Amino acid sequence: MRSKFDNDKFLEETFAKWLDDNFYEELAKRELILGWYRVNGEKLQKEGKDTIIITNAGNEVVIDEKATLHYINKDIPTFAFELKNQSSGARGWLINNNLKTEYYLLAWPSGNDKIISSEDFLYSDVMIIGKNDILKLLTDNKIDISNIDAFISENIKRVNERSNKVEIAPGISFNVNYSLAERPINIVIKRDKLVEKAILNATIGMPRCDKCGKPMLLREGKYGQFYGCSNYPDCKNTKPYIEIDNSMLEKTFK
């Protein structure tokens, strides 16, 4: 039986393989990027480098991959950005200026109940967003984290294990995750606010219906494409379809 650390590492490596096969390969196939390669070595990964995208202009862009692997199939409407690891006392990855990250790949994966291989991941909502754009989003909402210790001290008084988050701006919360051993202190941002700053927002793969478990099919409706349950009409569940929009990606990675 794997330890929690080993299981987390296994999920990260398995999902990384799924991203290689289903996301980066698709970007290259559509000629949105020239290519990519995955960074090997724990030291480099600790520098905030998971993947290097090679743009069509030949430039290299550093991507740090973050996925809601503790919440597979939950389809949560937010993403948590780490400010501090309370267990180690280390600065969180969002504000650690020693990291080389330029862009984050944010992912909300779904898959089979038991993940044994990368094929058990079925689909994922994926977003690419600049690290500086996230920090600017906070500034635009009058959230000052320039003195991070003072910011944490001020807000941590307002949360506890019963109510572990507090809204500090519309769609943005201060959160302490007591369910994880690291007890990370996070800024939690709703997806619709992140989309405003994202250079790519897409659904990758083919989802399963969260009502009956059957595969969902891409269908055409009055208002465009959407996922509909293959068990229709017995199951009328639907899910929005987000196509890869390359306009901002091409503009940024020119």
* Chain segment 27-49, per-residue pLDDT in tens: 898 888 899 999 987 777 789 99
Q: Where are the alpha helices (DSSP H) in the chain?
A: 4-19, 25-29, 42-45, 131-140, 148-156, 191-195, 247-252
| Residue-level pLDDT at 245 | 58
| Residue-level pLDDT at 244 | 61
Integer Cα distance of 55 and 36 in angstroms:
8
pLDDT band at 250 (very low <50, low <70, confident <90, very high): low
The dihedral sign for the CA sequence 68, 70, 74, 79: negative
pLDDT band at 253 (very low <50, low <70, confident <90, very high): low
Per-residue pLDDT of 69-110, as tens digits, reads: 999 988 899 999 999 998 888 999 999 999 999 999 999 998
230, pLDDT greater than 80: yes
| Residue-level pLDDT at 162 | 66
Pairing of strands 51-54, 60-67: antiparallel
- Residue ranges of the domains in the chain? 4-207
Cα–Cα distance list, 236 to 73, 74, 228 (Å):
19, 20, 7
Neighbours of 216 (CB within 10 A): 24
pLDDT band at 251 (very low <50, low <70, confident <90, very high): low
Integer Cα distance of 14 and 29 in angstroms:
22
CB-CB contact of 103 with 132 (8 Å): no
| Residue-level pLDDT at 234 | 94
| Residue-level pLDDT at 189 | 97
DSSP structural state of residue 146: S
pLDDT band at 164 (very low <50, low <70, confident <90, very high): confident
Q: Which residue has the tokens 């941002």?
A: 189
Per-residue pLDDT of 129-146, as tens digits, reads: 999 999 999 999 999 999
Mean pLDDT to the nearest integer, 149-162: 85
